[in-house]
Amino acid sequence: MASATASMRSPRKALGETELIWMMAMLMALQAFGIDAILPALDEMAVALSVTGNDRQFVIGVYLLTAGIGALVPGALADRFGRRPILLGSIAVYIALSLASALATSYDMLIAIRAAQGFFGAGIVALPPAIIRDRVGGDKMARMMSLIFVIFLMVPAIAPSIGEMILLVADWRAIFVAMALQGIIIGTWVYFRLPESLTDENRQEIRPRVIGRNMRRALSLPSVIGYVFGSALVFGALFGFINSSQQLITETFGAGEIFPIVFGICAGSMAFASWSNSRIVERFGARRVSHTALFAFIAVASAQVFFAFQPDESLYVFVPLMAVNMMLLGFIGSNFGSIAMNPFFDIAGAASSAHGFVRMTTAAGLGGLIGYAFDGTARPLALSLLASGIICLLLVLFSEKGKLFGKPSAEMGPGAVAQD
């Protein structure tokens, strides 16, 4: 009897690295699903709510923009009160406002709800990098973030297909209900399995001066600036593709019936790149891998510009080039983020929020402009990809003082997370 009682009181198995990676990926995937699942329904939603032209893109663009602005808040709060309560609060808001979106009776109401959802639910994307940074640093963090992105990017690859399947049996509002259900499932998982990772000695005071100092520090290091702002630019071009993808594939290339497949191919290439990155980054280093990918990104973007200005560009040219450049972003994104976060173990929450704010607001604003510039061709997107790649390279050169392809870095911070 005593042994049975002791067994019942024994602690549950600690959260291991594999489960942590899956959990953080699925948290971030909440945002991805909230963006990409609605893409196939934009035409139906536009008709139902009397939306014309490129204005239909705002349901995506406003969510991305306010999520970037909202990213300033959860990190600072999480550095004081812990990761768990702020993260669970963000999930709760995401669920409630997903249901509210399903009940919207006008486009203005839907836009307002989506803006609030992006702002108050920003913690679901802003906090996972801080939670990982609480545990590991250096190229090991880059490896873990790459694995997170592999899983996370599976969602954009299949979300439009899920949205399309939902539309076969219900209208566009049901997609927002599906978002809420996903949030409930993942929120329950987080509640029962995620331990607090913020240590008492790293808790920060909630004072404007302290918060401002920490965020200023997170954005002021020359070695960090290029990676934060550079990644914001290249992902801004990616957001431009997301915003205009439905019109581009449907109107420009006349392939609306296979839009989910086309989008899945492009997003899937990023997932493949993130998996590949997780296999090589600790050997070659985040800098070597990401710098090489950036040069390749610029080369492919140059080819995209060339073909975009040809009078007969076809879907069979556009999709492979877009998929390759999105694949290269898979090598750039997680590595740039890990390099930028590495110096900030003691203020990981504030740093994650500050970096997320810059990346998301810049990328969302730029992506909105690119999407709204859609003119029936792929030219605005191609030019944006090339320009963002070149400026990103210049910013990285600034951060690295003109010397690229650095060696693998030593891990900073505490020991690695417990293995399964």
Q: Quick check: 53 and 46 in contact, CB under 8 A?
A: no
Residue 112, Cβ neighbours under 10 Å: how many? 15
CA dist 344 and 321 (Å) reads 36
Q: Quick check: 26 and 79 in contact, CB under 8 A?
A: no
CA dist 365 and 65 (Å) reads 6
Give tens-digit pLDDT for 302-330.
999 999 999 888 889 999 999 999 999 88
Q: Is position 411 within any domain?
A: no
For residue 371, the domain's CATH number is 1.20.1250.20
The two tokens of residue 308 are 């975009």
Q: Is position 24 within any domain?
A: yes
Residue 354 has what pLDDT?
84
CA dist 393 and 397 (Å) reads 6
Give tens-digit pLDDT for 116-143.
999 998 889 888 888 887 887 666 777 7
Closest Cα to residue 140, out of 128, 152, 132?
132
Residue 184, Cβ neighbours under 10 Å: how many? 15
How long is the chain? Answer: 420
Closest Cα to residue 355, out of 333, 373, 371, 374?
333
> Residue 405, by phi and psi: left (phi above 0), alpha (psi -120 to 50) or beta?
left
CA dist 55 and 34 (Å) reads 18
Q: Is position 405 within any domain?
A: no
CA dist 259 and 256 (Å) reads 5
CA dist 374 and 381 (Å) reads 8
Q: How many separate domains does the chain show?
A: 1
DSSP 202: G
Range of the domain at 215: 15-200+208-399
CA dist 99 and 113 (Å) reads 10
Q: Quick check: 202 and 346 in contact, CB under 8 A?
A: yes
Q: Quick check: 374 and 236 in contact, CB under 8 A?
A: no
Residue 344 has what pLDDT?
80
**pTM of the predicted model as reported, rounded to 2 decimal places:** 0.70
CA dist 370 and 238 (Å) reads 9
Q: Quick check: 367 and 242 in contact, CB under 8 A?
A: yes
CA dist 110 and 98 (Å) reads 10
Question: Distances from the Cα of 222 to the Cαs of 40, 178, 332, 390, in angstroms?
Answer: 42, 43, 19, 19
The two tokens of residue 38 are 């609605």
**From first to last of its 420 residues, what are the pLDDT tens digits of the chain?**
444 444 434 446 778 888 988 999 899 888 888 888 888 888 888 888 888 777 877 888 888 889 888 887 887 788 888 889 999 999 999 999 999 999 999 999 999 999 999 999 888 988 888 888 788 766 677 778 777 877 776 777 788 889 889 999 999 999 999 999 999 999 999 999 999 888 887 777 777 777 778 888 888 888 888 999 999 999 898 888 888 888 888 888 888 788 888 888 888 888 888 888 888 887 888 899 999 999 999 999 999 999 999 988 888 999 999 999 999 988 898 789 888 888 887 777 778 778 888 888 888 889 888 988 888 888 999 999 999 999 999 999 998 888 888 765 544 444 433 333
Residue 356, Cβ neighbours under 10 Å: how many? 26
Residue 283, Cβ neighbours under 10 Å: how many? 11
CA dist 69 and 176 (Å) reads 22
CA dist 187 and 30 (Å) reads 10
Q: Is position 339 within any domain?
A: yes
Q: Is position 187 within any domain?
A: yes
Q: Is position 409 within any domain?
A: no
Q: Is position 273 within any domain?
A: yes
Residue 409 has what pLDDT?
53
Q: Is position 212 within any domain?
A: yes
Residue 412 has what pLDDT?
45
